[in-house]
Amino acid sequence: MSRAVGLHLGVIAALLALQFVLPAYHHGVLARVMVMAVFAMGYNVMFGYTGLLSLGHAMFFAAGMYGMGLAMKQWDVPLVPAFLLGIAAAFLLALVVGVLALRTAGVAFMIVTLMFSQSLFLAILHFGAITRGDEGFALARSLRQVAGLDLAAPATRYFAAWGLFSVVLLGTLALVRSRRGRVLVAIRENEERTRMLGYDVWRHKLMAVVVSGTICGAAGAAYGVLFGYVGASFSQVPYSIFPLLWVLLGGAGTVIGPFVGTLFMFYLIDLSSGLTDAYMLVVGVALVLLTLFLPRGLMGSLRDRGMKWLP
């Protein structure tokens, strides 16, 4: 077994063990971190490995969340089929957005993804009779049951978040170590040379957008199920910036980086808010220092300084 596989399996095992020793508060925080880290890992496929900077990934997270939530709330679809419908909604949205947005590049691509995301946000508000607009809606505990398991219960919720995180982490690792993953990295490093070598660059970019959007949609659907709330705030601009920030902090183009960045950011805010009301100033200073002294992020800097095998 390679060192890279061993590291990622070790992280998964450590998170499983923490389930039995963490106090209640941190138990809940870490479950939330794992779900949001899946969101960041999805973003990393597109940005960190393919070099496509999106400012609209909140739309995929929201598509998964609303696809699942509306199916359960409006049409009484059971949890598992509803969860799959949420993922399917994100997949279809990513496919449409990818086909259209990839007609552009660079700054234009960023703007187009932002416009699509804002369009979804406005659609959620416009159809407020169904989506409940800004207010959103809660999913009753009775709806969040599967095979006799209560996903609102702390232990079950943690295991569900851990399971999704583990699958996505290992799936992402397999993708980036595969031939297709190497092509994505080649596109990021030199798109024209990759095209000259005979690879279909557009098709691989579309694959990256679809895979990225689908993973983000799975994170959104999981968040709605595990934490019992579906709201328009998750489709707003900040939720397109957060995964970018988490990926940059942890290390873009590293499989474990998005988790490290998400964990760091969550606890930085949590700890600083307990010390001062000006906690966002503390967070801002910390982010500036990290950007200055660790420009490749935490795990990216470790890879540069000796861990060359880190994928």
Give residue-wise pLDDT tens across range 281-292: 888 888 888 888
Residue 193 within a domain: yes
Q: Is residue 298 part of a domain?
A: no
Evaluate whether residue 160 is within a structural domain. Answer: yes
Establish if 273 belongs to a structural domain.
no
Number of domains in the chain: 1
Q: Which pLDDT band holds residue 26 (cuts at 50, 70, 90)?
A: confident
Domain assignment present for residue 277? The answer is: no
pLDDT, tens only, 128-187:
989 998 888 999 888 888 888 889 899 999 999 999 999 999 999 999 999 999 999 999
- Whether residue 283 is contained in a domain is answered as no
In this structure, is residue 222 part of a structural domain?
yes
Condensed to tens digits (0 to 9), the pLDDT of residues 58-110 reads 999 999 999 999 999 888 899 999 999 999 999 999 999 999 999 998 899 99
Average pLDDT, the chain: 92
3-state secondary structure the chain: CCHHHHHHHHHHHHHHHHCCCCCHHHHHHHHHHHHHHHHHHHHHHHCCCCCCCCCCCHHHHHHHHHHHHHHHHHHCCCHHHHHHHHHHHHHHHHHHHHHHHCCCCCHHHHHHHHHHHHHHHHHHHHCHHHHCCCCCEECCHHHCEECCEECCCHHHHHHHHHHHHHHHHHHHHHHHHCHHHHHHHHHHHCHHHHHHCCCCHHHHHHHHHHHHHHHHHHHHHHHHHHHCEECHHHHCCHHHHHHHHHHHHHCCCCCCHHHHHHHHHHHHHHHHHCCCCCHHHHHHHHHHHHHHHCCCHHHHHHHHCCCCCCC
Tens of pLDDT, residues 187-236: 999 999 999 999 999 999 999 999 999 999 999 999 999 999 999 999 99
The residue segments making up the domain with residue 24 are 3-236
